[in-house]
Amino acid sequence: MAAAPDDNTPDPSIAELIAARPHLRMHAMDGLTMEDVPLGRIADEVGTPTWIYSAGALRARYRALTGALKDAGLDAHPHYAVKANDHLAILSLLRREGAGADVVSEGELLRARAAGIPASRIVYSGVGKSERELRLALTEDIGQINVESGEELRMLSAIAVSMDRIARVVPRINPDVDAGTHEKISTGRARDKFGIPFDEAIALYAEASRLPGIEPVGIATHIGSQIMDLAPYRAAFGRIAELVRALREKGHTVRVVDCGGGLGIPYRNQPGPSLAGLAGVIKAAFHNLDVRVALEPGRWLVGPTGVLLASVILQKQASGARFVVLDAAMNDLVRPAMYDAWHGIVPVGSADAAGPVSPGDVVGPVCESSDTFARGRLLPDLGPGALVAILDAGAYGSVMSSPYNARPRAAEVLVDGSDWTVIRARQPHSALWADEIVPA
């Protein structure tokens, strides 16, 4: 099974983790700050656990991405993958920057529209869109529907005809490349459930161009998530370019190439692909094809912009081991339990951060052994009430949280310069059972 390629490199230090994240800084007086706001102040007013995002970092990342694509001379358009973080404040901020959206459900489509993202800039992906979801997509007249099978294509054709609409369709092709990422987030190998097999692409495109209510406009692919190497992109895009040429030779129109998402982030400060590198790979594959390039970045845009702020409940010594027990748990941030994900964890207090370190396991209070954020992590002594920030929690964080152990949803805060706003109030306990019905 895919182990992280960097498993043997030593963990970065607390100072190195902070230094690599420009929106975070350690102040002697105020402790850890995000932009100009001390995280301790947010904890005082909102409590913990709390998700905190940097608006400045999100804008800077969006602009860095579009800048790199522009510098490469590409006609490229990011459609933010809403599933990474679907909060309306995040969607609205990206909409103001000009982003479109990539959605995978009725709920995400409605969220994107509620945030004001124009329907024409919405792409709908996913292996199982229901009839009702396809109807909504056609009613809203969204920009593009990425179909993942012949079965779905025929279903969409029948629905479009019944509604007297034309669906702009982009078949998602499975290029059969291994993205070299974690087993649970690989999507572009022949054995994965996603997309249309490469060998069937031409026949499916031909069928799409004959079917009523369908207008095929391009080709899409998405090979996985947390990809830290450009080689799988190069391989996948090379195959997609080959397909575009073959389709055009047969007389088909191909205007759009949707390159999907998946660009990874350096959770462990490990080296990874640069934006210029990715733009170069896209350009090398498609520059002479005169296509509009779509991208579906999720994690890369929002992941590094967020932290999960938590308090230490107590430090427990058992059988010679140290456990730092937090008030955040796997129901808040499931990535370590679900994908063996590594997240940086840094103390918020400046005195804490400067203390001598020793290995400890960082765990939550949920009754599961997998409720473990980190094992053998070098951290200072952290007494009850000490604050820690779990880094790079902006993507696949809050959206994946659950009420397991009857734990309410954590609060969420957006920091912008020296301003900060509670963008989701902490859920009251009563909301946990508000919609439950006890039969008489």
Instruction: Name the site residues for ligand PLP (rule: CB under 6 A).
Output: 81, 83-84, 102, 104, 125, 222, 225, 260-263, 296-300
Q: How far is the CB of 157 from ligand PLP (least distance, A)?
A: 21
Q: Which is closer to ligand PLP, CB of 81 or CB of 308?
A: 81
Shortest Å distance, C-beta 173 to ligand PLP: 12
User: 192 CB contacts (<8 Å, ≥6 apart)?
Assistant: 174, 186
Beta bridge partners of 50: 309, 411
Instruction: Give strand pairing partners of 326.
Output: 312
With respect to ligand PLP, which residue has the nearer C-beta, 35 or 296?
296
> CB of residue 145 vs ligand PLP: minimum separation in angstroms?
12
Catalytic residue numbers, as ranges: 367
> What is residue 220's DSSP assignment?
E
DSSP bridge partners of 239: none
d(CA 59, CA 18): 19
Shortest distance (Å) from residue 119 CB to ligand PLP: 18
* Closer of 213 and 394 to ligand PLP (Cβ): 394
Considering the complex, state which of residue 226 and residue 331 has its C-beta at the smaller distance from ligand PLP: 226
Q: Rounded to the nearest 5°, which phi and psi values hold at 308?
A: -105, 110
Which one, 42 or 278, has the nearer CB to ligand PLP?
278
Report which of 408, 335, 405 is spatially closest to residue 366, judged by C-alpha positions.
405
Alpha carbons 152 and 133: distance in angstroms, whole number: 12
What number of CA atoms fall less than 13 Å from residue 22's CA on the CB side? 8
SS3 283: helix
Question: What is the smallest separation between the CB atom of 170 and ligand PLP, expressed in angstroms?
Answer: 11
**Closer to ligand PLP by Cβ: residue 196 or 348:** 196
Minimum distance from residue 296 beta carbon to ligand PLP (Å): 4
Minimum Å gap between C-beta 25 and ligand PLP is 27
Q: Which is nearer to ligand PLP, 54 or 226 (CB)?
A: 226
What is the C-alpha to C-alpha distance for residues 91 and 105, in angstroms, rounded to an integer? Answer: 15
Exposure string for 216-239, b = 16+ CB within 10 A, e = fewer: bbbbbbbbbbbbbbbebbbbbbeb
**Angle in degrees, 0-180, between the axes of helices 150-163 and 201-210, rounded to the nearest 10:** 10
C-alpha gyration radius of the chain: 23
3-class state of residue 350 by DSSP:
helix
Strands 292-295, 357-363: pairing kind: unpaired
Instruction: Spell out the residues 6+ positions from residue 190 whose beta carbon is closer than 8 angstroms to its own.
Output: 174, 176, 197
Distant-in-sequence, close-in-space partners of 118: CB < 8 Å, separation ≥ 6? 100
Give the single-character DSSP code of 200.
Answer: G
User: Which residues face 37 on adjacent strands?
Assistant: 34
CA angle 298, 122, 252 (to 5 degrees): 105
| Rounded CA separation 331/398 (Å) | 9
